Structure 1
Amino acid sequence: MEDYLPGVPSRSIGEWLTSLGLEQYARHFIENSVDLSVVRDLTEKDLQELGVLLGHRRKILRAIAELPRPSAASYGPAAKALRKEAERRRLTVMFCDLVGSAALAARLDPEDMREVIRAYNGCIAEVIGRHEGTVVRYLGDGALAYFGYPRAHEDDAERAVRAGLALVEAVAALPTRTGDPARARVGVATGTVVIGNVADEDPANRGTIIGETPNLAQRLQAIAEAGSVVISSGTRRLTGGLFDYRDLGCVTLKGWSEPVPAWQVLGPSAIASRFEALRNKPPIPPLGRDEEIERLLRRWRYAVQGEGRAVLLTGEPGIGKSHLALELERRLGDERHFSVRCFCSAHHTNSVLFPVIGHLAMAARLERADSATKRRAKLKALIARAGIVGEESFALLADLLSLPPDPQQGIARLPPQKQKERTVAALLAQLEGLAASRPVLVIFEDLQWIDPTSLELLALAVERIPPLRVLLMMTARPEFVPPWPGHAHVTTIPLTRLSRSDGAALVERVTAGKALPPEVMKQILARTDGIPLFIEELTKTVLESDWLRERGSDYVLGGALPPLAIPATLDASLMARLDRLASVREVAQIGAVIGREFSYELLSAVAGLPRDKLEEALFQLVRSGLVFCRGEIPDAVYTFKHTLVRDAAYAQLLKGRLSQIHAAIAEAIEKGLGEIADGQPELLAHHLSEAGLVARAIPYWLRAGQRAATRFANLEAVAHLERGIDAMERLPPGSAKDRLELDLHLTLGPCLIAARGHASRECVASFIRSRELCERLGDVAEYPQVISWLVSASIMRAELAEAQQGAATLVDLAEARGNRPAFLSAARAEAMILLFTGRLPQANEMAERAIKAFETSDEETKLAARTAGQDAGAAILALDSWILWALGHIDRSVGRMNASLRRAESIQHPHTSAYVAHYASLLHILRGEPDAGLGHAERCLALADEHGFAQFAALARAERAICQSASDPLLQTLRDAMRMLDEWFGSGMQLGITVLVCPTLLNCGQATQALDFIERAIAAIERNGERLFEAELCRFKARALLLCNAQGALTGAEDLLRRALATARGQEARSLELRAAIDMAALFADQGRREEACGVLAPVYQWFTEGSETGDLRNARELLERL
C-alpha cells in the first residue's frame, strides 16, 4: 500500500518533493527510509543530516506545517510519531497563541486570513522543529507543543524557553497585509504527566496528556503580554540562570485554588557558562579532586615557563569537569595572566565558531544597547591587547561578530573559504599575541557539542601551543573523539566517581554540616554512584522534602523514609539517555523492574522475546553504556550503570503495566528459579507485593526476615518484616491471619530491640500488638516472651511500678508453665527492677537464681532465651556485676563481668557483645577506671555502627565522652556527652544512669548546669522511684554547691552528704556509701573537724575486704592517713 498523508492524494515521497521543486533530494530520502508516513516528524536537524540546504530546509518545514491536520478517523504520521503505550514522564509543555486573531480576521478577507494562519503555523513548525520539540496539534490560532516527548533531551525546559523566545520574534516578522505586526504569546510549564494512548486504541489519542502541566501552560499563556514568554516555577527551576527574568509574583489562574508563581522570560542571560548559570551559588572547591588539580597546576607551571600544554578532561555528565575547570581558574586568580573561556552549546553544534564568538563578545563587553560605532571601538580595544592592529584582522573579527563594516574602510569581501582561513589565522594570531604578553589559560568546554570550524581552530591551536605560554584546558563527555594525534604536550585526564567518604563529605557540605540520619545518607550514596551532581541534587531534594526535621545540629526523620524521588533537575537528562534507545526500551524497563542488577536467565523468562531479539537488545544496551555485562550468555548478569537511570526507566511505567511485569517476574522465580526463592526470599516477596499478590508475598517476607535475623542483619530484617506486617491489612480476618501476623511480630521483636532499643516507639507498638494477638488466639506458647518484652520496655522507660507488676506476673507464669527460657527473661527483668529501685540484696538474690537456672539449662534452652534480644547468660552476668559492685563486692563484680565477656565472645552474637561491652564500660566508669571504660565503649560503638544498634551507638558515644573528660575536661567533650544523652532520651530511655554525666559537668566547671541537671534527675526519681543513684545525685549536688560557693553552701552540702550516706546505707550500697563518706570526711577535714571525719569514713572503709587498689578505696585510705 502507498504511503499517504491524510487529505492528500496517495503518492510517493519523490512525487511530494517534486511538487515542491526539490526532487533532487528524493534519493537521499529514499536511501534513509524516509517516506510520507514519517515526513511530519522531520526536524531541521534531520533535514540537515539528509544533506538538505538551509533555504530548502525552510521550504520543506513550511510545506510540512501546511499539510492538512489528521482527523480522528484518519490519524496519520503525526500520531505515529507518538508512542502507542501510555507512560509517566516529566514533560515541558508549550502553548502558543496568535494575539488578536479575531480582530485580524475581521479586517482580512478569509482567503488572506488563511494565508496568515498558514504562515503562522509554518513558523511554529519551523521554530519548534529547530529546537527539537514536537508540535502535537494546532488549535485554530494556537498550538500545543511538547519538549521531552516522544524523545527527551537533557535540556528540554531550556529548549522550550528558547523556542518560545524565537517564536514570538519570528511571528512578529510575519506579513499580515494590514500593516500591523503579528504578535504571539507563549506559556511554558514543566511537570510530571501521563502521556500516550491513555484512553483507548484510537490513534488520535496517542499523545494525549493527563496532568495539570498542559493546563498550567495554557493559563500562563493567557496572562502573558503580547510578544512575551511566561513560564512556571517548574520550568524556572530547570533553566536557572540561563535567562533573565521578570518575577511576576504569584498570579491567580482559573482552575487553581491558590495563586501560582510565574516569571516572564526577558531573554538569554549574559552568563556564558552553563555550569555557573544552572547554579545559584558561587562554586566551592570540588571534593576528591586534589590529585587532578595538582596535575593541572603542574601543567600550568610548565606553560608559564614557555612550554605550552593541552589537557582534555573527560567524564560523564555531572562528574565535575566544569567545576574542576572553574577551580583551576580560581586557584590562578592571584597570578598575572589572561583567561579565555569558550563554551560550546548543544543548540549551536552547526553555528560557525559559536564558542569563540561568545568569548569575544563577553571579553569585549558588547551590549545590546551599544551602537555599531561603540561595538567596533570595544572590539578594537580588545584585540589591541594582543598587539593586533591590522585592518584586515579587525575586519575579519568584526564580521565574525556580525558588526556592520566601517564605511571608511574598504576591505574587499573574500570568498567564503578564504574568509574562514584568514579568520582562523587571525584568532590564532590573537592567542599568540596574548601569550607574548603574559601566560594564557584557555578553557574550552563541552567539546562534544563543538561546531566543525571551532574544532578545526582547536586542532590547529593544539599543534601551535608547545612554544607558547598557554595552557589549553578542554572538557568533553566520553563520546568525544579528539581529531588530533597523540602529542607529548597533550594529556587526557578521565574523571572518576567520588569515593564513598568524599560522597558523604559532599552531602554534609550541601546540608551545611548538619548530619543526616544514617539511613538517608546510605540511600543517597547508594543511588548516586559517586556522581557529584547526582549527590548534590538528590541531597537538595531530600532537604526540600517534608521528611526531615531539624534537631540541634542534626536532621532526624519525621516518619518512615519513602523511596527517594528522582530530582527534577536530573530527570530530563536520565530520560534522554533512555530515549536514545527507544527500540530496546521495553527490555530496559523489564530489567529495571527486576532491579539494578538482573540476570539473562530471569530476563529471558519474563520478556518472552525470541533469543536473537533479546540478545540484540541487550547488546545495544551494553553498547550504549546504560548497562554493564558480566559473564557470557546464558549466565550473563547485567547492571545498570547508574541507579538513577534504572529508577528513570522504572518510573516511566504505569501502575498496571508495573503490576503485570512484577507478577511475571514472581512467576518465573517460583516456577523455574527456586534458588532465588530460597536464597533471596525478599526478592520474590517484593515482586509478589508489587503485583498485588499480598497473600502469597507475606510468608516470603517472614522467611526473609528470619533469614536476615539469623545473619544479625537486624535493619534488613526489620525492613522485610515491616513490609509483611503492612501487607496484613489486605488479608481477610481470621485466626490464620492473626497467627501469621504474630509470627511476623515475634521475629520482629528481637530485631527491633537490637536496632532501636526496648523503649523505642516502634518496639512498644510491636510488643503491644503481639500481646493483643496472643490474647485473641488464646493459650499461645510465646505469650510469656511477649510479656517479658513489655516489662523490659517499661524498665527502660523508667515505668518501674508497672514493670515490677509485670515481672512478678511473668515469673509466676513462667514457673507455672515450666517455661525455662521465659523464666530466665523474667528473672533478669525482676533483678534489673530491684537494682534500679535500690533493693540491692533482693536484686542479687534474683540474679543468682537466674544465673543458676541458666547454668543448668541445655544449649537449646539458652538459645530460646535469646528472644529478649541478648543472650540471657551473658546479660544476667553483666547485670549482676553491677549489683555486686554497688553492694561493695568489688573483685567478685569484676569476675562476673569477665565471665559475661567470655560468654559473649564464645557465642559470637553481635547484639549480646554490644550489650556486654556497654555494661563493662559503665562498670569501669563506676569504679573510676576511665581508660578501661573507654576501651569497652569503643568496642560497643564499633559493633553498634556495624550492625545498626542505634540505642548502643548513642550510649557508647556518651560513655566515650565521659571517659575522655576524666583526662581532658574540655567543653567540647561535655557537649559530646550531653548530645549523646539527648539521643538516649530521644529514643525513649529515661533511666537515671545518665547521672554519670555529672562528673563531666563538674570537671568542666559547669556547676550551674550540673545543678540544673541534678534537680531534674532528683525530680525524676521522685516521679518514677528509680533510686539506685539517689545517693550519688545528693553527693554531686553537694559538690556543685561548694563549687558555686553560694551563701549557705557548706551547710547545704553537709545536709546533702548526710542524706547520701543514709540513702546508701538503707540500700546496702556499700560502694556508694564509701563515696559519700569520703566527701563528708573531706568536708569535715577542711573545717578542722578531723575526729568527725575519721568517725564517718573509718567504719565504712573497714567493711571492705576486696578491691583495695581501686580508686575509691585508695582515696579513702589516703584521706584516713592524712587525718
Structure 2
Amino acid sequence: MRGVTEWLESIGLSEYAQRFAENGIDLSVLCDLTDQDLKELGVLLGHRRKLLRAIADLDDAARSKSAKTATELKGRDEGERRHLTVMFCDLVGSTALSARLDPEDMRTLIGAYHSCIAEVIGRYQGRIARYMGDGALVYFGYPHAHEDDAEQAVRAALTLVGAVASIRNVAEALQIRVGIATGTVVVTELLIEKSLAEQAVVGETPNLAARLQTMAEPGTVLISAGTRRLTGGEFHYRDLGPVALKGWTEPLRVYQVLGMSGVESHFEAMHTTRLPPLFGREEEIELLLRRWRQATQEEGRVVALAGEPGIGKSHIALALNERLHGESHITLRYFCSEHHTHSALFPFISQLERAAGFRHSDSPQEKLSKLEALLAQSTGDPEHLAVLANLLALPTDDRYRLQDLTPQKRKEKTFAALLAQLDGLAAQQPALLIFEDVHWIDPTSLELLAAIVEHVPQLRALVLITARPEFTSPWPSYPHTTTIPLTRLGRRDGTALVLRVTGGKTLPKEVMEHILAHTDGVPLFVEELTKMVLEGGLLRERDGEYVLEAPLPSLAIPTTLQASLMARLDRLSPVRDVAQIGAVAGREFHYELVSAVAGLPKQRLDEALDQLVRSELLFCRGEVPHAVYTFKHALVRDAAYSGLLKGRRAALHASIATAFEQRFPEIVEAQPETLAHHLTVSGLFEKAGGYWLQAGKNAAMRSANVEAIAHLQRGIEASVHLADGARKDRLELDFQFALGPCLIATQGPASNKAVATFTRARELCERLGDPPEQLQIMFWLATASVIRGELPVAEEMVAVLLHLAETRGNRPALLNAMRGQAMIRLFMGHLTGAREAIERAVEAFDASTEDERLAARAAGQDAGVADLALMSWVLWLLGNVDTAITRMDAAIQRADDISHPHSQAYACYYASVLHALRGELLTARRYAERCLTLSEEHGFRQWRGLALAVRGICMTSLDPSSSALEEIRTAMNEYRGAGYQLGITALYVLLCPALLLSNQWEAAVEVIEQGLATSSHNSERVFEAELYRLKARALLVRGALEASTEAQSQLDQALTTARSQHAKALELRAAMDLATLWMDQGRRKEALELLAPIYAWYAEGFETNDLKEAKALLDRLR
C-alpha cells in the first residue's frame, strides 16, 4: 500500500490514502477504478476528475512501457512499406528577416515559429521529422496510419498558414509556403528512433513534397494528384494543370488548396462527388425521381421507405439528395431518436437548432438572434418567432401571452408556426423533407408529420420518410402517398457490394461464399462483415486480389452483424471505451459530453474519436469542440453498448447524468427526460424521479399528453425501487397527481385508467395524512363518478369534499364542491334540493375573490357560468320557465365576458338542451353549432359528442327527411364510448320525438327503454317522468288495441314521478297527454279537472309552446 500512498501524495490528494487502504486498493487495481467507485469512496467531484486523469496517465505509461518492450524484441532495423503523406513547409523571406533582426530577436521568432508548427501538427496527428532552420519536414501516417492522413495534412497546412501569419514578433505578417504529396515509401523504424527521421523515409513522395513547396506562392498550399484523390470534397481546389518539375520526366498535375468546403459530415464529404454506389436500388431511385418531378411540377408527394435495419434506407435518401445536387432546392432533415421517443417534437427542435447554427456556448439572446435570422428566410410573422422561441425554451417578450393559452392552444400555434415556416421555404424553391427513423418518432411529432402529409399537396415538396416495417402510419392512404418496401439484395448485387468495399480486388471463393451466405442480402451486414474480414489479418493482397494466408479456420468470420461489429470494436480496443461512452449517451452525442465523461487528455480523446470516424463507425458533423458524432447505424451503437458489463454501464449513465447537470443546463431544462433516463439506468431512482416528474409536467404544458403520460409512468416505475416510507409515497403522489389531468385529456375523466390513478392517489393521501392535493383528488373522483352515472357514490364523495373544503377554508374547492352537489341533486331528480344547493353556490361565488374564482376554474369551467347554467335547467323543470331563460342568458354572457372557451362550450350545450326542451329548435341548433365549433377548435371531446347529437336531433325534428339520424347515433356512441353516462337521458327524451316524427316507432321505443334502464341503473332520474310520457305516446302511435291501457299506465307513472320531484314542466306535459287520452275516451270532465289546476299554478311562460298548447287544450275541454 506504500506505493498508492506515495502516488496520492504526488498528485496532492493524500487525504484519501487511508480510505484507499481500508478498501484494499493497491496499484494492481488502481487502473480499474471508475467514477462510480470513487464516488462510493466519498471522493469529491473535483478530486474524482483529478484522480481519473492521473489514473489515465498511469495507464498510458504502462501501455507505453509494454509497447516499448515489444518493440525492442523485434528487429527494428528492418524497413517496411508504408503509404505516407509528407509535408514540407518553409518560412518565406527568412534570410531577409535575419538580416534585419537582432540575432536574439531572430532566435525568439524562430522559437515562436517552431512552437506554432508543433502545436498545429500535433493537433492533426502529424509527426515532425525534423526542423530545418526555417522549414520543417512532417509525416502523416506514421507510426499510426489513419484513413484520413491526407485530409489531416491539408487541414494542418491551412491552419498553419493562418497560425504563422498571426505571430506578431515582427511588424509585418509572416508567411509560409507548403507542399504536400502522398505515396508509397519505405520506412526504417530504427532511424526514426535515432532522430534521423529525414533519412528514415525513402521514396519519391518526400522529394515531390519538397519540390511542390518550392513552387508554392507565399501563403499557399500545393498538393499532388495523389493527395487530391484522397481528400475528396473536404476542400476547394484550383487545378494548376500538369506542371513540369525538375527530376520528373513527365509533367505532374498539381492543385492549390483554397480552403475548407464547409461540408459538415465526414461521410458526406468523402462522397461529395459520388456516394458509394447503390446496388439493386435502380427502380427505387427512379420512382423517387418521378415523385420529385411530380412534387415540383404538379403537387407535393410523400414517399415512405420501409425496411429492416441496415437495408439501406438512409443510403437511398442520401443518394436522392445527391441526384438533386444540381437543381435549385432546399433539403430539411429530421432525425428521430431511440432515446427521445417521448420527447415532444424532438426532431423538429433539433432541426431548428441545427439550421439556426446554435452552439452550446451561445447565450440565450444569441440563440434568439440566430432563430430570428433563420425564420426571416421563411416567415416574417413575429408571433411565429415567439412561438418557436418558446418551443426552444428561449426568452421572449410576453406580447402574445403564450403562458395564458391552454396547452392545446399552444400546441396548435406551434404546429401552425412550423407549417408556416415550411410553406415559406417551399414557396421560394422546391423542398425535400427527409424524416429518418420514424419508427422512433414521438407522438406529438407524429401528429405534426401527419398534418404535413395531409398539407403537402399544396406545396412544391417531397416528403421522404424512412422507417422500419413495424411502423404503421396514422394517416390514410392518400393519392399523393407511396410506400416502397425495400427488399434484400440478390447475389449479384451482394457480390458487387463486396467488391466495392474491397476496392475491386477479388476475395477467395470460400470467403466470398461465407460473406454472402451469412449476410442475407442486407447491405449494412455485407459492408461490415467484408470490412471485418479485410481488417482481421486473414487475407493478404497479391496481384490485385486477396488470398488466404492459411486455410479458413472455423468461426474465423462471425456469422452475425453483432459479432462482426464487436470484432471490429475489439480490434479498436484502445478507443473502444470512447465508443462505449458514446453508445451510453445515445445514437448521437456531443464532443463536449464525451469529453466530460471520458476524463481523457484532449489529444487522446481527439485521436480516439478520429479513429472511430476513420473506421466509419461514427460520422462527425462540425468541428471540435462543437462537433456532434453519430453512430453509422443504430446497430453499431447497440453493439458497443451491449459489450458493457452492467456495473460499468450503470456507472457511465451516472457520469453522463452528472455531466449534463454540470455542463448542459439548457438540456436539463429542455429535456429532463434525457437526464431521467440516464439516472434510472444507473439505479439512482429517487433523483431520476424528480426529472421524470419535470419531464411529465413540461410535456403536459405543451399539450403533449401522450409523452407526459409515458414520462410519469416511467417515474412511477422508478419509485417502486425506493424503500417504503413517506418519501416514496410523497414522490408517487406527485406522479399520480400530475398524471391525472393527462389521462383526463387523452382518455376522459371517467376512463378506467383515470379512475385507477385517482383511486391510487387517494390511498397515498390517506397514508400521508391529509396532504393539500387531497381536495383536488376527491374532486376528480367525484367528477368521475358523476360522469359514469354512479350518482349515489358521487353524492357521498362530494359530501366528504364539502367537509374538507369548509374545514380548510379552501374557497376554490368549496365552489366546485357546491356545484358538484347541485349537479348530482339535479340529475338524481332532487330538484328543490338542487335549487337550494345552487343558491348557496351562487352566494359563495359572489363572495369570492377573482383569484379564488380563477383557481376554481382550473377544474374545467368557471363556477359562476356553471351555477347559472345548472340553475336554468332546475328552474325550467320546477316551472319557472321564463326565469330559466334569464339565468341561461346570464350564463352565456358571463362565459363570453371572461372569454373562457371551456366555459363557453359548457354554457352553449346547456342552452341548446334547454331551448330544445322548450321546443325552440332553431335557437337550440344555433347553440349546438356554436358548442361544436368551440369543441373542435379546442379539443373538448365531451362537448363535441353532445353538441353533435343535439344538432342532429334539431335537424331531424325540423326536417324528418334529414339524414342526421346516423350522425346522432354516432355522436351518442362516441360519448358513451369515452366513458360518459351523465346527461344521456336528456338526449333520449329529445331524440324520441324526432324518431316518432320520422315514423321510426321501433327505434323510438328502443331509445325509451335505454333511457329508463339508465335511470334505474345510474339513479339519473331527472327525465324519468318524461321517458314514461314518451313511452305512452309511442304506444299510442302504434295504435294497438291494448295501447291505451298501457299508455294510461305509463302516463300515471309519469305524473307520479313528476309530482314527487316537483317537476312542474314535466307534470304539465304528462297531464296534457293524459287529458288528451281521456278526452278521446269521452272523459272530458276528468281531463279538465286534471289539467286546469296545473295550468293555473303557472305565473310565467305563457308564450312558451307547452303553455300555449295547454291553454288550447283547456279551451277545447271547456
What TM-score results when the alignment is normalised by the length of structure 2?
A: 0.48
